[in-house]
Amino acid sequence: MINVLFVCLGNICRSPMAEAVFKHLVEEEGLGDQFHIDSVGTAGYHVGEPAHRGTRRVLADHGINSTSISRQINRRDLETADYIIAMDSSNLSDLQYASRGLATNDRLALLLDFAPGVSRQDVPDPYYSGNFEETYQLVDAGSRGLLAHIRKEQGL
Ligand code: 4NP
């Protein structure tokens, strides 16, 4: 199993969106049984909550369901994930700090590093911007690029 973990701050807006979009793409490509896909937050503000209403609505608009319940990252996540995908550079630096002492550097990346033709680094946070569709478009581009990258790297 290839273990992919999406990470944002609260685990209610961006990373549950990426989890749902990436799961949908993996299913579409018939690879569902080869992946374990999850999302977490660096903070615990919303633990136990489903994805934000705006995230669930934009996903539904694109024919995608979300079953994510917010949880905070733990040491085991950092030890076991093959790909730890941060939504923004602040999440990335929090992850680098949280994983000190673990060999995570080559498993950590920003989602938009995989989005072809996208020059920005950070997925904008719709918790503040209110623009869930803009976030969806960037998450979709990053997720498609990430899946292509993993398929190539894993020979799938
Ligand atoms: P997320 O957005 O990291 O994309 O889930 C946020 C959700 C909640 C908060 C901040 C960002 N908050 O401060 O509660």
> What are 85's two structure tokens?
């995908």
Ligand 1 centroid vs 9 CA: distance in angstroms? 5
Domain locations along the chain: 2-154
Residue 125 designated active-site? yes
**What pTM did the predictor assign?**
0.98
**How high is the pLDDT of residue 104?**
81
Segment 42-49 mean pLDDT:
98
> Which of 88, 94, 125, 140 is labelled catalytic?
125
Which CATH number is 2-154 given? 3.40.50.2300
116 three-class SS: coil
**How high is the pLDDT of residue 70?**
98
Sheet holding 83-86, edge to edge: 35-41, 2-8, 83-86, 108-110
Give the C-alpha distances (Å, rounded to integers) separating 41 from 36, 90, 130. 17, 12, 19
**How high is the pLDDT of residue 108?**
97
> In terms of residues, how long is the chain?
156
Ligand 1 centroid vs 127 CA: distance in angstroms? 6
